[in-house]
Structure 1
Amino acid sequence: MPDSTTPGTGTPDTEYMKATMRRYADLFNAGDHVAVADLYADDAVIEDPVGKPPVAGRAAIEKFYADSIAAGAKLTAHEVRGSYGNRAAMRFSADLPGLHIDGIEVMTFGEDGKVVRMEAFWGPDDFRTV
């Protein structure tokens, strides 16, 4: 259950959503794919990047993060923004061996505070080899 909700809506408030996005980056960088997956609802969907086939369900999400961490990826949360609704966005960079990606992630939260959808916006113009 979220620590606080927007009055009258039952949805997580802005501070909760922003803190969860920062925690997501911290857990990812700590190499804890299970804890990252725990931020998600059991039936959540990830589209990373948007336009690629979605990753759906707890087992697939856990594997997605385990594979990303095993590849040596590290995340930096540059800016995190909330909304009056149930979504928050984060400008991020991801660094992998030989590759740097700049993008935006948008997370949609359920009433229980779990992420129900994550969409990562980045494309061919947003990465470079290093």
Structure 2
Amino acid sequence: MPDEAFRKAMVAEYARLLNEGDVEGALDLFTDDVVFEDPVGREPTVGKEALRRHLVLSVENHVHETPGEPVTSMCDRFVVTHSRVVLRTPAVMSFHIIGIVEFNDEGLGHHVRAFWGMTDMTVGEARRTDTEHQTA
């Protein structure tokens, strides 16, 4: 069973791999039968091959994911993180997402849920957070 430090590190590693365009490395973090709901409420992506197509499309659209501080669970199965995801399709699309990853006993992501709605997405110039306003 993955410990808290491992689960928290997985979030940063996934973002790093995806930002670098390493789809295969990112896929290695998940089970073969992964269920990837992005966003929750739409038909989920099921299995590594389907997830590969989703991640390739993200990389082709210059994805950049910036995860916040992850929070884990006492049951050793979950990590929850707020992330900012930016795509260029070619317009800039910015998403504020709450992600929940459930791990299996081997420490692989088995079920991923990305919560975001239309009001959590900005098309055009990326929305800045209050912190970004203070440092700009």
With normalisation by structure 2, the TM-score equals: 0.85
Please point out which of 8, 19, 38 is paired with 1:48. Answer: 38
Is 1:39 paired with 2:33? no
Aligned match of 2:56: 66
After superposition, where does 1:17-32 map in structure 2 within 5 Å? 17-32=7-22
Unaligned runs of 5+ in 2: 126-136
CA distance in 2, matches of 1:54, 1:17: 22
Aligned match of 1:78: 68
Unaligned runs of 5+ in 1: 1-10
Please point out which of 64, 75, 81 is paired with 1:90. Answer: 81
Amino acid at match of 1:112: E
CA distance in 1, matches of 2:54, 2:97: 18
Amino acid at match of 1:45: V
Is 1:124 paired with 2:118? yes
CA distance in 1, matches of 2:27, 2:51: 6
- Percent identical across equivalent pairs? 30
**Which stretches of structure 1, 4 residues or longer, exceed 2 Å deviation after superposition?**
none
Alignment length (residue pairs) = 120
Amino acid at match of 2:84: S
CA distance in 1, matches of 2:119, 2:69: 20
With normalisation by structure 1, the TM-score equals: 0.89
Aligned match of 1:111: 105
Give the SS at the match of 1:27: helix
CA RMSD of aligned residues (A): 0.8
